[in-house]
Structure 1
Amino acid sequence: MRQGKTADALATFTENTSRHPASWAARADLGFAALQAGDTTLALKSFEDVVTRNPSFYLGWCELERLQFARADYSAAVHASEQAETCDPLEEPYVRLRDLMRANRRAEAEKIARQMLQQQSGHPRASFFLAHLASTVGAHEARRDILLASLDRHPANIMLRRSLVEAHEAIGAYTDALNEAQTLTRIRPDFTAYWLLSRICGHVADYEGALTAAEAAAGLLKEGSEELGKVDLLRGHALKILGRRAECEAAYRACIVNTPDNGAGWWGLADLKNYHFTDTDKKAMAELAGNTALPDTQRCQAAFALARAHENDGATDKAIDWYKKANALRTDAAYTPDRHADLFARIKKSFDAATLARQADTRKLKGPTPIFVLGMPRAGSTLIEQMLASHSRIDGTMELQTLIHLERRIRIEGGRRFGKQYPESVAGFSEDELAAFGQAYLDETAIYRGSGDFFIDKMPPNFERVGLIHKILPHAIIIDARRYPVDCGYSAFKQHFAGGHDYSYDLSHIGHYYNCYLDLMDYWQQVLPSKVLTVQYEENISDTETVVRRMLAHVGVDFEEACLAFHKNKRAVKTASSEQVRQPINRKGVGVWTAFADELQPLFDSLGEATLKRFAPYAPKH
């Protein structure tokens, strides 16, 4: 074998197994020789014989796992993977590694894990721990690479597969995450696999797929399982996005029944905006919100739902009281005004005129033109998106995370290459490198798009990234959704966001954040005149056709009547405004706060007289 005489080696090892038929070692030699010769059929049979004679032969199980996986015999491959773990020759260092992790002695644990990998290349448990350590410091690319290297040798390891899905998810590689999740359902079609698949389908806007996977997950659960409520919630979200209202309500109700202590089901119903709650419902929500034995996350959502229920009933005093309680229960929100103001100051300084002048060459960018709809949340961005997405040349998508994940990669690359933090590091990239980032954005958004000449990326916080957009996608179209600050701020205060928007749970923080946003948008108008079209919500609902024509002209497409009949568009909408944009234009959301004006003084104070005066023309008329 060492001389490369594979045929002679095979003949010798075959004869050896005949002379020593009871020897598992002889058959192992034959199996390894067959692998080198590329005879996978002989190798498979040899290793099956080996583990029959010696069930404790670790390498035999490892080779069987790879061979059976390659033949798509996933059940057998998983069995081999599990058997290998039972006879792991590195069990002793693994136990020590596990104990060190539990004691939070990570440096020592990492050292042992690396030693284990030197002894057994791709060792699954050592790799899993190293990948976990990488994830704790945000090194998700390293986590992915560790897992991929291990899966190359141990492809049927379920623990590694699940972790790889999550690693792809963490870096925004949703296409890869989807492929891995689908692979996982083929390897082991259990509840967790379909749960993961449903979640990833949601990331890539495949809501029918998300619903199908959630239903498959539910079908694998026993009646009375606590997991059923979680699946009901997934189903409810998917059905809401798809506009299947009755089924959506039923799914949220099932969530409440199957997990009575889960406030998410109640908030799911409340976030439909016009759902009618009974007195019995309100009592149940109040009890859940007041139960201090439950996690704040569940109590918070129940409190938001109860506040919405009272508001819909016209009980304004009860509503504002519960909104305050709900926001106070969002104890995981962390917003530091000074730190945020400092970040925005750094953004303005980093994206000065000279830096903005260096851009990607648009001739090197292949793909449709992106339309970024950004601004404050609850400012009418979903309405703008729905109007534009009703045009024959424009694809609607969802709130894409693509640019956020790309910014993270730029931050890492800039720190490594230039020793600077982002956004200061952005000035160091060449035009070709900026074009590469722009192309990466276009490539990674392909999964969300149709065949339109334009596509919408509606992510409100991208107003922070106007300078970055201008540098990597100079041809991109940008629209700023703007709304009267008190209406906008109060609407955010009433909303339970799944993540981010930490400022929105304190009225004074909302005003501070709004002013930071306003100041930054003023700066972009100064350094990039005519780049950003501002669309005032109040003008959009009062003179819709004029505003729609202005937006389409900014995009560069002809006017189409369908953009005025946006509420007839059956596309999936994944935002808190999904129900509103399925209705014709109305003024239901204007001036709602006037009933609570006395309770909103912290918001008025933080916004300040200058901001309120600036937007006085859009203030509700008493």
Structure 2
Amino acid sequence: MSLPPYAAEVDAAARMIREGRPLDAAAKLAPLAADHPSDEILLSLHGTALMRGGDMPAALAAFERAVGHHPRSRDAAADLGFAAMQAGVHDKAIEAFERAVGLDRSFYPGWCFLARLHLEMDDKERAFAAYRAALNTDPFVKDGAAIEDAMKAERYGEAERIARALLSRQPGYPPAARTLATLAGQVGALEEAPKILGYAVPLYPADIPLRRAFIVSLEEAGDYKGAIAEAEKLTHLMPGDVGSHLTLGRVHGHAGQYEASLAAYDAALPLAGDPEECGRIALLRGHILKILGQRDEAIAAYTESAKVVPGNGAAWWALADMKTYRFSPEDRQHMETLATDEALKGEQRSQAAYGLGKAFENDGDHKSAFRWYSTGARLRPDIRFDVGENDAVINGLVSAFSRDNLAMTAPADSALPRPIFIVGLPRSGSTLIEQILASHSQIEGTMELPTLPQIERHMRIAAGQKAGGEWPANIGVLTADELAAFGRAYIEETALFRTGKPYFIDKLPPNFERVGLIHKILPGAVVIDARRHPMDTGYSAFKQHFAGGHEWSYDLAHIGAHYNAYLRLMDHWAKALPGRVLTVQYEEMVADTEATVRAVLDHVGVAFEPACLEFHKNDRAVRTASSEQVRQPIYRKSVAAWQQVEAELKPLAEALGPATLARFESYIPKV
């Protein structure tokens, strides 16, 4: 086929476009397009030059002329649709893309654009119909299947190569975008996943799995405000979809917005498809009701869930975790049936066994309780704790955060809200201290905030990019100004959880590993270590089925080793930062509550208020396993409770060793 006589002029115009001179190209192409209206490629290039140059009215007119001259051309209609979409003329864009898919029902990009345009016009029915058509005409299905096969076979490099190649051909393609986001998360690049998915969602707004993946990625990166916004968009798109409301409820719960979380779960309930699904929602509602202190309603929700969901060990443990709930003989038989049913998943059997342990403990049968707690710990799946690795982490912290290193901090900023970090090991009285402090008029209780670990991850990345090396040994490369920026970021990112009081509580026990980091980025912060006799701490942790983390707590020897590691690090902080951390011994707090409360408030720097002694009257939301206990006055029955199963706890005592036990001997009540 011979080239037209004006081919050189067309090539020159195309080169002008590539060089960033689209309006020069448009001027050159205008007379050619007028003289040769049968040349569809020429007309398309002319319209493209005008569009790239920002002259949208002229571009639309050019593309409309092209459609007029080539009414049976799918590509001419698509050009007009794309230009109209760029110009914000949605009606014209929809009309043009409908023309394009009418000419070619397998035109995948046309269906995708129609789905996007209909959603922008809030026409959800047509949007989802168009996207279903896109899925039915998807030309990249084989590539997507190849990605999925590579991921299942853990050939991650291959999956990444296919996904990147596919995204270069079809920007934002959902299966490829989700794959890259997953791979980013696997290597700890949690901030990259929302960037990848956030680019794809506007291009494929009707792809619901893509939206859900985006919400999860925002949560994992700590952007709860963004996750809530996206979850709300999802419920708007799919108001009759139970999963969308459950997603919104989950995100609100993670952000500490418990009333909103409960409202979302309440909205999901009438949309459930069957009694079993209602039961699963009831379990979620129960968790929020418990946090809100609505005890009777929580018990009713948990009981309903246990009744209608087969194999539901989680509901039985939730009832047990109310601490004061009493089980009937029939309840115990049901839990034992679940715990011994080898056909059930280990997680459900484990929780049923923990519930049974609590039932026997409530009856005073501590030997039987211990046996069932041990069974629950043994059945807990996917638990991995290495004493050597844990010790190496502690050694690294002691080495990195020397007294000299800790001398260089961010400048103190008295204008910032002042955080109060409550650290230690779980089941050591940290929630009680939090409840006491949160009863003060100047102090705000929040929740177990995920913010500081996220800031630490950012610091790790920044130090590695700046000087290489391993974290935390390379923390010294961060300047005072950089440390201050991380401190301000912490304050900014916790704003979602605060209402404006001058002090706020961040009670995340594992932050005992981050005391040095706290000192460096927030030198004005308050740090309190909640400490309890290691045998009571250890046994209390062993009896607790944690929702996640604390993998050291399912083996008595591991508990002892971890307690010693914690103690060693806290001793280091006491030497390197004398006076910086206030240790609150649980047994002393129980013996003389007022004296302990006054000492804590002095450490914080606020005046004593009687409400702090009536903490059990505070109706704030409490998210931890101790939520029921802190709604009661202080009691002494938890002191030395380990003695009831002293023989069974011998592995814990041996792991702790005589030196550690001797440090706490004075806290054992004398008979």
TM-score, structure 2 normalization: 0.89
2:663 aligned residue? 614
**CA distance 1:29–1:240, shift in 2 (3 Å):** same
1:243 aligned residue? 293
**Contact 1:10–1:33 (Cα < 8 Å) also in 2:** yes
**CA distance 1:488–1:100, shift in 2 (3 Å):** closer
CA distance in 2: counterparts of 1:239 and 1:517, whole angstroms? 33
Pairwise CA distance, 1:26: 3.8
CA distance in 2: counterparts of 1:551 and 1:292, whole angstroms? 49
**Contact 1:371–1:455 (Cα < 8 Å) also in 2:** yes
Pairwise CA distance, 1:116: 1.3
Unaligned runs of 5+ in 2: 1-46
Which of 265, 268, 275 aligns to 1:217? It is 268
Pairwise CA distance, 1:53: 4.1
2:494 aligned residue? 445
Which of 351, 369, 374 aligns to 2:423? It is 374
**Contact 1:267–1:301 (Cα < 8 Å) also in 2:** yes
1:595 aligned residue? 644
Q: Which moved more, 1:40-49 or 1:186-195?
A: 40-49
Pairwise CA distance, 1:290: 0.8
Pairwise CA distance, 1:243: 0.8
Pairwise CA distance, 1:345: 1.0
Pairwise CA distance, 1:332: 2.2
Alignment pair present for 1:60 and 2:110? yes
**CA distance 1:161–1:23, shift in 2 (3 Å):** same
Alignment pair present for 1:413 and 2:456? no
Pairwise CA distance, 1:586: 1.1
CA distance in 1: counterparts of 2:537 and 2:166, whole angstroms? 55
**Contact 1:78–1:187 (Cα < 8 Å) also in 2:** no
Which of 286, 289, 311 aligns to 1:261? It is 311
2:337 aligned residue? 287
| 1:436-474 Cα deviation digits (max 9, x unpaired) | 111111111111112210000001111110000000111
Which of 562, 569, 574 aligns to 2:623? It is 574
| 1:508-550 Cα deviation digits (max 9, x unpaired) | 2111111111111111111111101111111111211111111
SS across alignment from 1:533: strand
| 1:174-212 Cα deviation digits (max 9, x unpaired) | 222112111111122322211111111111111111111
SS across alignment from 2:469: coil
CA distance in 1: counterparts of 2:188 and 2:561, whole angstroms? 29
Amino acid at match of 2:303: R
Which of 561, 564, 573 aligns to 2:613? It is 564
Q: Which moved more, 1:87-96 or 1:505-514?
A: 87-96
CA distance in 2: counterparts of 1:341 and 1:96, whole angstroms? 42
Amino acid at match of 2:93: A
Q: Which moved more, 1:182-191 or 1:132-141?
A: 132-141
| 1:269-320 Cα deviation digits (max 9, x unpaired) | 0011111101111111111111112121111111111010001011122112
SS across alignment from 2:307: helix
Pairwise CA distance, 1:114: 1.5
Which of 193, 200, 221 aligns to 2:244? It is 193
**CA distance 1:435–1:97, shift in 2 (3 Å):** same
Which of 109, 114, 119 aligns to 2:169? It is 119
SS across alignment from 2:219: helix
SS across alignment from 1:423: coil
Higher relative contact order (CA 8 A, sep 6+): 1
Pairwise CA distance, 1:159: 1.6
2:362 aligned residue? 312
CA distance in 2: counterparts of 1:514 and 1:257, whole angstroms? 39
Alignment pair present for 1:426 and 2:499? no
CA distance in 2: counterparts of 1:132 and 1:371, whole angstroms? 35
| 1:44-95 Cα deviation digits (max 9, x unpaired) | 3322333344332222222223323333334433333332222223233333
**Contact 1:366–1:442 (Cα < 8 Å) also in 2:** no
**CA distance 1:540–1:40, shift in 2 (3 Å):** same
Pairwise CA distance, 1:109: 2.5
Q: Which moved more, 1:46-55 or 1:196-205?
A: 46-55
Amino acid at match of 1:121: P
CA distance in 2: counterparts of 1:391 and 1:157, whole angstroms? 47
CA distance in 1: counterparts of 2:370 and 2:148, whole angstroms? 49
CA distance in 2: counterparts of 1:98 and 1:324, whole angstroms? 39
| 1:328-354 Cα deviation digits (max 9, x unpaired) | 222422221122112111101100012
**CA distance 1:397–1:9, shift in 2 (3 Å):** closer
Q: Which moved more, 1:10-19 or 1:569-578?
A: 10-19
**Contact 1:74–1:186 (Cα < 8 Å) also in 2:** no
Amino acid at match of 1:193: S
CA distance in 2: counterparts of 1:144 and 1:399, whole angstroms? 23
CA distance in 1: counterparts of 2:347 and 2:582, whole angstroms? 38
2:154 aligned residue? 104
**CA distance 1:484–1:94, shift in 2 (3 Å):** closer
Alignment pair present for 1:385 and 2:440? no
Pairwise CA distance, 1:415: 2.6
Aligned pair count reads 620
SS across alignment from 2:431: helix
SS across alignment from 2:421: strand
Larger radius of gyration: 2
Pairwise CA distance, 1:22: 5.3
Q: Which moved more, 1:290-299 or 1:574-583?
A: 290-299
CA distance in 2: counterparts of 1:287 and 1:36, whole angstroms? 63
**CA distance 1:33–1:448, shift in 2 (3 Å):** closer
Q: CA RMSD in A?
A: 1.8
Which of 124, 134, 140 aligns to 2:190? It is 140
Pairwise CA distance, 1:43: 1.8
**CA distance 1:431–1:286, shift in 2 (3 Å):** same
The 5 Å alignment of 1:168-183 reads 168-183=218-233
CA distance in 2: counterparts of 1:291 and 1:243, whole angstroms? 33
Pairwise CA distance, 1:136: 2.9
1:87 aligned residue? 137
Which of 243, 249, 259 aligns to 1:208? It is 259
SS across alignment from 1:373: strand
1:499 aligned residue? 548
TM-score, structure 1 normalization: 0.96
Pairwise CA distance, 1:414: 2.4
Pairwise CA distance, 1:17: 4.0
**CA distance 1:102–1:372, shift in 2 (3 Å):** closer
1:347 aligned residue? 397
2:279 aligned residue? 229
**CA distance 1:128–1:247, shift in 2 (3 Å):** same
**CA distance 1:93–1:338, shift in 2 (3 Å):** closer
**Contact 1:486–1:593 (Cα < 8 Å) also in 2:** yes
Pairwise CA distance, 1:18: 4.7
Unaligned runs of 5+ in 1: none
Amino acid at match of 2:313: G
Q: Which moved more, 1:353-362 or 1:149-158?
A: 149-158
CA distance in 1: counterparts of 2:458 and 2:368, whole angstroms? 46
Pairwise CA distance, 1:493: 1.1
Identity of aligned residues (%): 50
Amino acid at match of 1:585: I
2:654 aligned residue? 605
1:162 aligned residue? 212
| 1:344-400 Cα deviation digits (max 9, x unpaired) | 11101100012111111223x853100001111111111100000000000000111
Pairwise CA distance, 1:254: 1.4
SS across alignment from 2:584: strand
**CA distance 1:156–1:608, shift in 2 (3 Å):** same
